[in-house]
Structure 1
Amino acid sequence: MEVTMKYLCILGLFVVASISGLERVNGAGECGKVPVDRMAFRMAPCASASQDAQAQVSSRCCAEVQKLGQNPSCLCAVMLSDTAKSAGVDPEVAITIPMRCNLADRPVGYKCGGYTLP
């Protein structure tokens, strides 16, 4: 029950951030025309895996990371976004998710803020 409530709270944060992102000017950014904070909403299945390096990464999370990993600058921006920070994401843990998903085509060595994707 406690885990479900945690996910609902994180999901609520993502919803609020995505709604507020709709009011911004639609220019091309790291994730194209979709605001980074709105893209962060798609990463809700990664909530626990982005906070605890020992947590199992769900297949839904890996699927989303694989999609975003096609554009490493978008993936990086999402992991370092204000929405992710508000949800309690630890960037140092979040950048390990592509490796923990065993994605063969992950952006190894990509510089993401002060971090390097393993």
Structure 2
Amino acid sequence: MKKLICLVLLLAIVAIAGVEAHGYGECGKFSPDRMLTHVLRHCAKPARDLTAPVTPNCCEPLSQVSEECFYAIINSDTWKYSGIDHRIAFTIPRCCHLIHY
């Protein structure tokens, strides 16, 4: 019986370690920094300037990003150093008519 309990605990630890090893976070297998620089690069200008148009090139990829990933992107180090205004950036999902944000 002790061996069975030890085996189950060992398998649980290995399973948890396997999930942690993948490092998947809010944005799946990509980091929030990579999502910002590669996927949402067309949203940079509208995120700095309220008068800049929000184009389909920004809205299309943004529609594929989860709400958790969007907030992780906004809190990423790249975001902080990019000069993007949080208040303006929060208006972009509304401009894209994305209701889940």
- 2:27 corresponds to 1:31: yes
Contact 1:80–1:91 under 8 Å retained in 2: no
Contact 1:53–1:93 under 8 Å retained in 2: yes
Q: 1:46 is aligned with what amino acid? A: C
The percentage of counterpart residues that share the same residue type is: 38
Higher relative CO (CA 8 A, sep ≥ 6), structure 1 or 2? 2
Q: CA RMSD in A?
A: 1.6
TM-score under structure 1 length normalisation: 0.61
TM-score under structure 2 length normalisation: 0.70
Larger Rg: 2
List runs of 5+ in structure 2 lacking aligned partners: 1-20
Q: Which of 74, 85, 98 is the aligned partner of 1:79?
A: 74
Kindly state the Cα deviation for residue 34 of structure 1 after the two structures are TM-superposed.
Answer: 1.3
- Name whichever structure is richer in helix by fraction: 2
Q: Which of 86, 100, 107 is the aligned partner of 2:100?
A: 107
SS at match of 1:57: coil
Contact 1:79–1:95 under 8 Å retained in 2: no
Q: Deviations over 1:50-86 (max 9, x none)?
A: 0112221011001111111xx1100111122111222
Aligned length: 80
Q: Which of 93, 98, 102 is the aligned partner of 2:93?
A: 98
List runs of 5+ in structure 1 lacking aligned partners: 1-24, 109-118
